[in-house]
């Protein structure tokens, strides 16, 4: 059994040959350093698209492509700490651009390519993004909003292969047609140099840009090694999209800083194609989400028998609590359990986990990673809870390398995340007598659907822009596969009938404006939404109704 007793951040610093105060550029660590270590011809990326077209790249290919993109951006005038957005599918250029931007000291702003116009605009506007790297198919979205983004100077199109005519501010970057850059002057990033800006949603207000720094590498490297258990000869598959933090911390930085081969499948989900992918590339370590695992479960046990999945050595999960049924199912069909891991966009790296060798209690989040101090606080008094099994707010002592450094241009929100020197995660849990954490739920109204956080406020605000909607309340609704989905209660304006076609129209309206994730999966029209006497919509009542819970105190409910 592996012991993590002697694991701490200094071990990562030593293995990465980083000295305090020295240079630590994640881009260099994930490409140049691996080549210097003699792995230049080792496969870094095996990429397969939905038509099963396969492309393979060595670490030297990654180094050269990222150099080329880095110099291209630098020559355009992209400067240190400029925000460069990646609005791309999971194509190889996304991974190369990520490394290239970091190499020149830019701040990478990855955004989920299914975001609709409004979601995209809000995030680019907040970040003051100077350049976007994208694909032709996403140009219509960008063209619809760019006039409202005066600081967005460059829209770089990575697949304009036919050199089609582009509009003002749009530039072609075709990697096959420009000189490959062998040597690039790497920006000498220090520990606190900004690296990434990931956007995340809260209950109220607009999405917040979570700012990370290059020193996050220390946490990401060591947790990849000891929690995901990656080893030099592994073939790794992280199923997360780099539009979300898992897809960057553990879908790029973790494996590549270790020089490990990873596979990427840029295709929608199907159980058959996933099993086939694992078999074809002999995936040994898989990092996925409970939603995906439950979708595999839904496809049935028989399907698994059609594939040789013996290559799988270690399985891990992130995004939502992993239910015990999923752990037991994977033990039965794969002969090994999924290991739950818990962390957030803000934490940048794994905080609590079931690491290899540890006894797994199915349904538990596991225990804190060495060096991470996690306690529970009383929700009312914020006093530490020391009784086993009592529910409290998960709070973490700041100080680990990958902790966010701020919310972009929003210090007030950032400060609100701390109480008495503890970072409040917004999640609730209890700790059993053996020190295992058990997830209970959110401490706010944020909806976790398939591992993605959705702000009810954002959806309600968007709904108000639909001509038929007078007011709305958005809550989570239980879902067997996605844990929660978005449900909207809507009060219509006079003259609009609550018909099925209007439901569909509103769903599509939100999908295009925000994203498919934020689209209400169910809409219920109500003649009147429950409100307090002061006129505030009682979202909690509607939430309780969906979850079959006690409605609680309704003494403040408005009477007719």
Partner 1 sequence: MGEMNIQEMKDLVLAYVIKEYMDDEDVVIDFDTPLISSGYVDSFAMVSLLVFLENRFKIKIPPAKATPEAFDSVNKIVALVNEFQKP
279 binds partner 1 (CB under 8 A): no
Report DSSP letters for 469-527, one per residue.
EEEEEEEEEEETTTEEEEEEEEEEPTT----HHHHHHHHHHHHHHT-TTTS-SEEEE-S
Of residues 62 and 173, the one with the C-beta less far from partner 1: 173
Q: How many CB atoms lie within 10 A of CB 280?
A: 18
Task: Choose among 152, 43, 160, 166: nearest CA to 95.
Answer: 43
**123 torsion bin: left (phi>0), alpha (psi -120 to 50), beta (else):** alpha
Inter-CA distances, 447 with 115, 305, 444, 454, 548, Å: 17, 35, 9, 5, 17
Among 21, 140, 150, 494, binds partner 1 (CB under 8 A): 140
Smallest distance, Å, CB 289 to partner 1? 12
Of residues 193 and 482, the one with the C-beta less far from partner 1: 482
Of residues 189 and 304, the one with the C-beta less far from partner 1: 304
Smallest distance, Å, CB 417 to partner 1? 28
Of residues 471 and 479, the one with the C-beta less far from partner 1: 479
Task: Choose among 295, 306, 330: nearest CA to 316.
Answer: 330
Smallest distance, Å, CB 21 to partner 1? 44
195 binds partner 1 (CB under 8 A): no
What's the burial of 308, exposed, middle or buried (CB within 10 Å: 0-12/13-18/19+)?
A: exposed
**Per CB under 8 A, which of residues 59..118 are in contact with partner 1?**
89, 114
Report DSSP letters for 422-446, one per residue.
EEEEEEEEEE-TTS-EEEEEESSS-
Of residues 161 and 554, the one with the C-beta less far from partner 1: 161
Tokens of 179: 């000189």
DSSP run (H or E) holding 83:
strand 83-87
**What character string, x for contact with partner 1 (CB under 8 A) and - otherwise, covers 449-468?**
xx------------------
**Per CB under 8 A, which of residues 24..53 are in contact with partner 1?**
50-51
371 binds partner 1 (CB under 8 A): no
Report DSSP letters for 401-417, one per residue.
TTS--EETT-HHHHHHT
270 binds partner 1 (CB under 8 A): yes
Among 2, 464, 504, 557, binds partner 1 (CB under 8 A): 504
524 binds partner 1 (CB under 8 A): no
What is the SS3 assignment for 430? strand
202 binds partner 1 (CB under 8 A): no
Cα–Cα distance, 515 to 6 (Å, whole number): 44
**Per CB under 8 A, which of residues 422..451 are in contact with partner 1?**
449-450
Tokens of 146: 């760019």
Smallest distance, Å, CB 297 to partner 1? 13
Smallest distance, Å, CB 545 to partner 1? 20
Among 268, 421, 467, 535, binds partner 1 (CB under 8 A): 268
204 binds partner 1 (CB under 8 A): no
> Which residues are CB-neighbours of 359 under 8 A, at least 6 positions away?
none
Supply φ then ψ for residue 203, to 5 degrees. -65, -45
Among 3, 10, 272, 386, binds partner 1 (CB under 8 A): 272
3 binds partner 1 (CB under 8 A): no
Among 141, 146, 225, 294, binds partner 1 (CB under 8 A): 141
145 binds partner 1 (CB under 8 A): no
**What character string, x for contact with partner 1 (CB under 8 A) and - otherwise, covers 481-500?**
-------------------x
Cα–Cα distance, 351 to 23 (Å, whole number): 25
Buried b (16+ CB within 10 A) or exposed e, 40-54: bebbbbbbbbeeeee
20 binds partner 1 (CB under 8 A): no
Of residues 30 and 454, the one with the C-beta less far from partner 1: 454
Smallest distance, Å, CB 538 to partner 1? 26
Choose the stretch contacting partner 1; rule: CB under 8 A; options: 29-37, 266-274, 304-312, 417-425: 266-274
137 binds partner 1 (CB under 8 A): yes
If binding means CB under 8 A, how many residues of this protein chain bind partner 1?
32
Smallest distance, Å, CB 317 to partner 1? 18
269 binds partner 1 (CB under 8 A): yes
Cα–Cα distance, 497 to 501 (Å, whole number): 10
**What character string, x for contact with partner 1 (CB under 8 A) and - otherwise, covers 219-258?**
----------------------------------------
Cα–Cα distance, 281 to 237 (Å, whole number): 10
Tokens of 454: 């959705």
CB 210 within 8 A of CB 346: yes
Among 273, 311, 324, 491, binds partner 1 (CB under 8 A): 273
> Which residues are CB-neighbours of 492 under 8 A, at least 6 positions away?
468, 469, 470, 498, 502, 525
Binding interface with partner 1 (CB under 8 A): 50-51, 89, 114, 136-138, 140-141, 266-270, 272-273, 298-299, 449-450, 500-501, 503-504, 507-508, 511, 515-517, 519, 521
């Amino acid at each position: 059994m592996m012991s993590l007793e002697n694991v701490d951040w200094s071990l990562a610093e030593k293995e990465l040959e980083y000295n305090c105060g020295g240079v630590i550029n994640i881009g260099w660590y994930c490409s140049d350093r691996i080549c210097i270590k003699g792995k230049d011809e080792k496969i870094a990326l095996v990429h397969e698209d939905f038509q099963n077209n396969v492309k393979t790249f060595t670490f030297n290919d990654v180094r050269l492509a990222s150099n080329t993109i880095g110099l291209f951006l630098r020559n355009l005038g992209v400067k240190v700490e400029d925000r460069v957005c990646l609005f791309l599918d999971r194509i190889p250029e996304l991974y190369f651009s990520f490394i290239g931007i970091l190499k020149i000291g830019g701040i990478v702003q990855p955004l989920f390519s299914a975001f609709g116009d409004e979601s995209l605009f809000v995030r680019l506007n907040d970040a003051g993004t100077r350049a976007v790297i994208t694909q032709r198919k996403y140009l219509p979205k960008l063209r619809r909003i760019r006039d409202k983004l005066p600081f967005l100077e460059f829209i770089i199109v990575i697949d304009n292969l036919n050199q089609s005519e582009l509009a003002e501010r749009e530039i072609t970057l075709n990697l096959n047609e420009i000189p490959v850059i062998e040597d690039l002057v790497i920006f000498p990033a220090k520990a606190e140099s900004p690296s990434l800006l990931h956007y995340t949603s809260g209950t109220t207000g607009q999405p917040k840009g979570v700012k990370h720094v290059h020193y996050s590498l220390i946490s990401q490297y060591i947790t990849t090694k000891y929690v995901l258990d990656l080893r030099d000869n592994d073939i790794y598959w992280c199923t997360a999209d780099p539009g979300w933090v898992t897809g960057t911390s553990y879908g790029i930085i973790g494996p590549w800083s270790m020089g490990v081969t990873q596979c990427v499948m840029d295709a929608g989900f199907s159980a058959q194609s996933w099993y086939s992918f694992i078999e074809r590339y002999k995936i040994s370590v898989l990092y996925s989400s409970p939603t995906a695992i439950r979708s595999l479960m839904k496809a049935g046990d028989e399907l698994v028998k059609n594939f040789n999945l013996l290559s799988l050595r270690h399985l891990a999960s992130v995004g939502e609590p992993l239910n015990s049924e999923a752990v037991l199912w994977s033990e039965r069909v794969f002969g090994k359990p999924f290991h739950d891991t818990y962390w957030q966009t803000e934490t940048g790296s794994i905080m609590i986990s079931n690491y290899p060798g540890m006894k797994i209690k199915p349904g538990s989040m596991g225990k804190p990673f060495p060096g991470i101090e996690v306690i529970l606080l009383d929700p009312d008094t914020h006093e530490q809870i020391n009784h086993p099994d009592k529910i409290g707010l998960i709070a973490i002592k700041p100080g680990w390398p990958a902790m966010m450094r701020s919310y972009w241009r929003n210090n007030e929100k950032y400060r609100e995340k701390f109480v008495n020197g503890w970072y409040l995660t917004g999640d609730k849990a209890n700790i059993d007598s053996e020190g295992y954490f058990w997830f209970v739920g959110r401490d706010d109204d944020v909806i976790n659907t398939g591992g993605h956080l959705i702000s009810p406020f954002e959806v309600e605000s968007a709904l108000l822009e639909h001509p038929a909607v007078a007011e709305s309340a958005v809550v989570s609704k239980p879902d067997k596969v996605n844990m929660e989905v978005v449900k909207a209660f809507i009060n219509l304006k006079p003259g609009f009938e609550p018909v099925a076609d209007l439901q569909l129209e509103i769903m599509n309206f939100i999908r295009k404006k925000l994203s498919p994730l934020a689209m209400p999966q169910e809409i219920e029209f109500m003649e009147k939404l429950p409100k307090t006497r002061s006129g505030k919509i009682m979202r909690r009542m509607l939430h309780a109704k969906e979850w079959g819970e006690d409605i609680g105190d309704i003494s403040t409910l408005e009477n007719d």
